[in-house]
Structures are given as C-alpha cells and as structure tokens.
Structure 1
Amino acid sequence: MTTPRDLKKELRSAALARRDALDAAWRVDVGQRVATHADALAPSPGGVVSSFWPMRSEMDVRPLMTALAARGARIALPAILDKTTIVFREYLPDAPMIDMGFGTMGPGEGTAVLDPDVMLVPLAAFDARGHRIGYGAGYYDRAIARLKVKGCAPRLIGIAFDCQQVENVPDEAHDQPLSEILTETGLRRFTEA
C-alpha cells in the first residue's frame, strides 16, 4: 500500500525534474519579473517578510527581496539551528552570509531573529487547494506551527513555477497549507485558505 509519504516522494521527484528541466536563463528572467508583485506582497512599512536564498533550480527571489525592502519591509531568511528547527534571521545586504547546508545561505548567529508577517515559502510541488510538498525535512511546517502557537498568523505565499503544480497533494496532520502561490503567471489565492 502506498503511504502519503511515499506518494509525496514520487510527486516531489517528478515536480523537481520538471523544474530542473526549465531553461536557466528563463528562470532568471522570471525571478526578475516576479519582483513586480512586490506591492501586492509587501506588509505595512517595517513589517517582516521571510524569504529564502535560492538553491538548485528554485526561482531566484532575490530581486523580489530587494523590491520588498525598497517598500519598507524588513527581510528575514531561514537559519537552520538543528535537524528540526529553523528560525528567521534578519537579512542585511551588507552583512556576511553563512552556509546553511542544502546549498543555501543565511545570516549568521548574532543576527536578530524576527517573526514574519509574510512568508515566501519554497516548495517542490503544490496543488490547487494550497497544499504543498516541501523537500521532506518538515522545517517550514514546524516553523509555521510554532509561529501559530506564539499567536502569529503570517500570510503564507508559496514560490514556484507553474510546472510544479500537481493534481493532489496527500494531506497529513502536520501540513500547513498556503494561502497564495506566486508563479511566472502571477499571484493566485487558494480557495480553501
């Protein structure tokens, strides 16, 4: 019998293969174009947006980070503390970045830890309901759950390419659904969110 975990692994592998096959120059262009959505994503001035440093064939959200900062947002990036925990440390463009593992970078220790008002969430696959498949370690699901326990309710926006959409992501109790997705065709709100 195929478990939800097994099915997610299959869907993840297929979606990442489709993403990897996208032309690299086109992916860079899309990263530039999604920055035009900064007005729709920006919290009030001084609000915190958690983003991520792109790895492998992920969409490059650094132009979007720059556009959000220009609108007064404080930017944070995930910092891996251990095998189960990430926090969001303030990103300052001139501050040194450190290797966070998995081919990504983030702010080092001693940088302010911030609770995001808006979270740009990386993912491997998503469905039309706003359910996502991450990379399998559960960092974001746990981080979002911890924020909710603290009384925070960040706006959850997945970042992906349209080719990463799948018909149905199997639901598991720990999964944290997205409210929106930003792809090369624009920003979409999920009806179940």
Structure 2
Amino acid sequence: MTNPREEKAVIRNERLALRDALSPEQRIEASLAMLEHAGDQLAFEPGQVISGFWPIRSEADIRPLMARLKARGARLCLPVVMDRETIIFRELVTGAPAVKTGFGTTGPGPEAAVLNPEILLVPLSAFDAQGNRIGYGAGHYDRAITRLREKGLVPRLIGIAFDCQEVASVPAEPHDVALEAVLTESGLRVF
C-alpha cells in the first residue's frame, strides 16, 4: 500500500496529463465558461482582496474572470514565488509592468503592495467532491494559507480546475486545507 504522498503524486501526474491533453481551444472555451459561471455570481464585498493567477502550462485562463471581478469592485493580487518555501501576494494594478516572478509565473514587481487576500482562486492538479485538493507538490499555497490564518485571517479558497481534474477521492493529509468551492467549466460547486 502506498502512502498519501505517493498516491497524490500518481493522481497529480494522471490529472495533469488529462489537463495537458485538452486542446488550446478547449481550454479557452472552458475558461470563458468559468467567467459566465462565476463572473457575476461570486459573492464578495467591494474592496475585498481576491488573489487570482495568470495561467502557466495548461491551466485555465482566469484573466477574463479577474477583469470581471475587478469591474465589480474587487482589489486583485497575484501570487509571487519568493523562494522554495514562500509565496506572497502582490497587488495587480492596471498599467503596472509585469515581471517574471519564479516557477514560470509572471506578476507584479517588487514595487507593488503586498496584500492579504480574503479570497484565493487556487490552481490545482486534482480535486474531489469533498473539497480536497492536490496542488503541484511544493506546498506553497498550504504554507501561505497557514501564514494568513496565523494573522487571524480566514481566506475563502476556491479551486480552479477543468472537469477532467476531478477524482473520486483525494488522500487528505493533516496539513491539507480543504476548498470552500471549485470552479470548472460546468459551474461553481460549493462544498
């Protein structure tokens, strides 16, 4: 019998291969469906800080969704990889230059304000119907969520994935943080 870490690695590789197999056109259509499902439906107060992400590899492109949330009054930020252990969230301001921010990501530069997001739109490798998720294996989001909670904050976590990334069950470990909801091309599911 394998341990949870090994099981997660197998599931991660399997689901990312399925995601990678989606054509660019399929990913675009699914990403636009996500905008339609959550652009006007996601509940938040004007001025609340929402962390999104710019897509890398075969991730969903939630930039149109982020633009809609900003138009509704959200204050946006993006994760920035500081080192192998840490990500911070820098404010995304219209017109500010984007720079390479580590691990193939792009985002606001060091002049941008560091924010504490109240809602995190979280990329992932796999998820199940109980809201458990498998990330990319580095634990960046788990540690960032722990740091936010240590500050007394309880950020809402919304996974971003394609339907093909759902599995019957994710082997949960004590450090794992469950999602409040997941957004796919089929809709926004609250757990």
- TM-score class, shorter: over 0.9
Percent identity between the two aligned chains: 57
Q: Following TM superposition, by how much is the alpha carbon of 1:42 offset from its aligned partner in structure 2, in angstroms?
A: 4.6
Write the distance in 2 (CA, Å) between the matches of 1:50 and 1:142: 15
2:17 maps to 1:17: yes
Question: In the alignment, is the contact (CA less than 8 A) between 1:42 and 1:68 conserved in 2?
Answer: no
What is residue 69 of structure 1 aligned with on the other side? 70
Q: How does 1:71-90 map to 2 (within 5 A)?
A: 71-90=72-91
Counterpart of 1:117 in structure 2 is 118
* Separation of aligned partners in 2, 1:124 and 1:164: 7
* Superposed displacement of residue 132, structure 1: 0.4
Q: Would you say 1:97 and 2:98 are equivalent positions? A: yes
Unpaired runs of at least 5, structure 2: none
Amino acid at match of 1:48: V
Structure 1 vs Structure 2 CA RMSD: 1.0
Indicate if the aligned counterparts of 2:33 and 2:186 stay in contact, CA closer than 8 A: no
How far is the alpha carbon of 1:106 from its aligned partner? 1.3
Name 1:5's counterpart in structure 2: 5
CA distance in 2, matches of 1:77, 1:30: 21
2:126 partner amino acid: A
Matched, 1:133 2:134: yes
SS for the counterpart of 2:40 is helix
**Displacement of 1:110:** 1.9
2: CA distance between counterparts of 1:112 and 1:91? 9
Distance (whole Å) between structure 2 residues aligned to residue 174 and residue 20 of structure 1: 28
The residue type paired with residue 40 of structure 2 is D
Quote the offset at 1:98 in angstroms.
1.2
Q: Is the 8 A contact 2:80 2:102 kept in 1?
A: no
1:27 aligns with 2:32: no
- Partner Cα distance (2:97, 2:120) in 1: 22
Shift of 1:151: 1.0
SS of the equivalent of 1:68 reads helix
Q: For the residues of structure 2 that align with 1:178 and 1:13, how far apart are their CA atoms?
A: 20
TM-score (norm 1): 0.95
Indicate conservation of the 8 Å contact 1:98/1:108, yes or no. yes
Give ranges in structure 1 of 5+ residues lacking alignment: none
| TM-score, reference length from structure 2 | 0.96
